[in-house]
Amino acid sequence: MLRHLLTLLASLSVCTAASLASQIKLIRNPPHHANYSPPYEPSPSENPARLLIIGDVHGMLDQLEVLLSKANYLSSRGDRVIFVGDLVNKGPKSSSVVQYAMDINATSVRGNHEDKVLRVWAGAEEARTKAEAEGKDGDEAYEAFKNDLGSGKQKALETAESITSEQRVWLSTLPVALRLGDLPGLGDVAVVHGGMVPGISLDEQEPWAMYNIRALIDFDGEDDETTQSDEFVATIEERLADMRPGSKPSQQTFELAKQSAIGLYRRVSHIPTSKFEDGKWWVESWNQQQEEKAKSERMTVVYGHDSKRTVQMKRYSIGLDSGCVNGKKMTALVLQPKIDGDGLGAMSLGHHLVSVSCPDKK
């Protein structure tokens, strides 16, 4: 049924201006977070269904297939797959990876590369339709938009051009965060691509931060000097450039974004950045804050995005990007039910990592 719906939406997306506008609206306003449905419910059976969470794939289809084989993934057993985002871009087979994920009925969160691919496509199509509405050449407007992009966003648009309408619809519907619920032995678990800002609830997390966060910059929202600093202004400019690639925001748009960030991050005294070299690693602050919370309020975050640090197994955060597209590894976290003791104890989820090597990037 879902496949038929996706096919219908994909066909509509290339037929009418109204449906194009609806798709662009979804691209720019994705589901903020969703509950994993149907929920994963571990079973103490002899051959229980497992949950596999896979790090950044980046178009590396061959290695993904090898990884699932090595992890003994079996759909017939009821095994399920979740990706941490960045299925696409950089590697050679973005479209095939997305199709593969759809074919095995996997799900994912939106990564910064899915977001980039979708948003540059939306901007290019808007340029085309605007030109055509004015009686101009839409293809020329599309190419002009593309030529004005930086090289990274041009490559993202080429990726967007390589995927099918149905695949684009599927990517557009992915949530920014996926809550897995209370898992035995692990507690409350959520999957995001980049991470989360400590001290802010999941409901309030900024999507850009969940795609891109790597560090936290000290921030005093009451201090005019801080909010006018080059460092703070750069974080706002980066957000706006990512949200509307190929367009220059007005001063009013910039001020609104600035005030929104001040309002959100003032109370936690830090603001997220995508840069490794700035501030403190968000994971350190996240784990420290979870330890200080009541047990019922703690959350474990499974994320990708950080190939520089590769796999990171902390008490309340698990990083799975091991840099496959850069010739390192691709990694899966395998959650498997187990019975504690001699078959009479409580059931919990054991977890282990499975990795495969990837070819050197030429």
Which domains are delineated in the chain? 1-30+111-173 (no CATH), 43-109+177-219+269-362 (3.60.21.10)
Give 202-254 pLDDT, tens digit per residue.
999 999 999 999 999 998 878 777 888 888 888 899 999 999 998 888 999 99
Q: How far apart are the first and last CA of the chain?
A: 42
For residue 195, what pLDDT is reported? 97
pLDDT the model gives residue 42: 87
Per-residue pLDDT, 43: 84
R_g (Cα) of the chain, nearest Å: 21
- The b/e string for 319-358 (b: 16+ C-beta within 10 A; e otherwise) is bbbbbbbeebbbbbbbbebeeeeeeeeeeebebebbbbeb
For helices 112-133 and 151-162, give the axis angle rounded to 10 degrees. 80
Q: What is the predicted pLDDT for the residue at 344?
A: 54
Question: Could you tell me the strand order of the sheet in which 270-273 lies?
Answer: 270-273, 215-218, 280-281
Query: Which pLDDT value is given to residue 1?
Result: 42
Pairing of strands 51-54, 329-339: antiparallel
In angstroms, rounded to a whole number, what is the distance separating the alpha carbons of residues 258 and 107?
Answer: 33
Q: In what order do the strands lie in the sheet with 80-83?
A: 107-108, 80-83, 51-54, 329-339, 347-357
Instruction: Mark residue 125 as left, alpha or beta (left: phi above 0; alpha: psi -120 to 50; beta: remaining).
Output: alpha
Nearest to 140 by CA among 149, 130, 150: 130
What does 277-300 look like in DSSP terms, one character per residue? TSSEEHHHHHHHHHHHS-GGG-EE
Tens digits of per-residue pLDDT, 59-116?
999 999 999 999 999 999 999 999 999 999 999 999 999 999 999 999 999 999 999 9
Beta strands in the chain (DSSP E): 33-35, 51-54, 80-83, 107-108, 177-183, 187-192, 215-218, 270-273, 280-281, 299-303, 312-313, 317-319, 329-339, 347-357
> What are 165's two structure tokens?
């309408």
pLDDT band for position 345 (cuts 50, 70, 90): low
144: burial class by Cβ within 10 Å (0-12, 13-18, 19+)?
middle
* Dihedral angle sign, alpha carbons of residues 227, 231, 232, 236: positive
Taking only the tens place, the pLDDT of each residue in 109-143 is: 999 999 999 999 999 999 999 999 999 999 999 99
Q: Residue range 195-206: average pLDDT?
A: 96
279-333 per-position pLDDT tens digit: 899 999 999 999 999 999 999 999 999 999 999 999 999 999 999 999 999 999 9
Output the pLDDT for position 338. Answer: 82
Q: What sign results for the dihedral spanned by CA atoms 104, 106, 111, 114?
A: positive
Tokens 């990592």 correspond to 353
Q: What percent of the chain has pLDDT over 90?
A: 78
Is 235:271 a contact under the CB 8 Å cutoff? yes
Residue 5 has pLDDT above 80, yes or no: no
Three-state SS at 196 = coil
Please say if the pLDDT value at position 146 is more than 80: yes
Asked if residue 362 has pLDDT above 70, the reply is no
Amino acid at 276: F
The reported pLDDT for the residue numbered 278 is 77
The pLDDT of residue 342 is 57
Instruction: Identify the band that residue 14 occupies on the pLDDT scale cut at 50, 70 and 90.
Output: very low
Indicate the DSSP class of residue 228.
T
- The number of angstroms, rounded, from the C-alpha of 186 to the middle of its chain's C-alpha atoms is 21
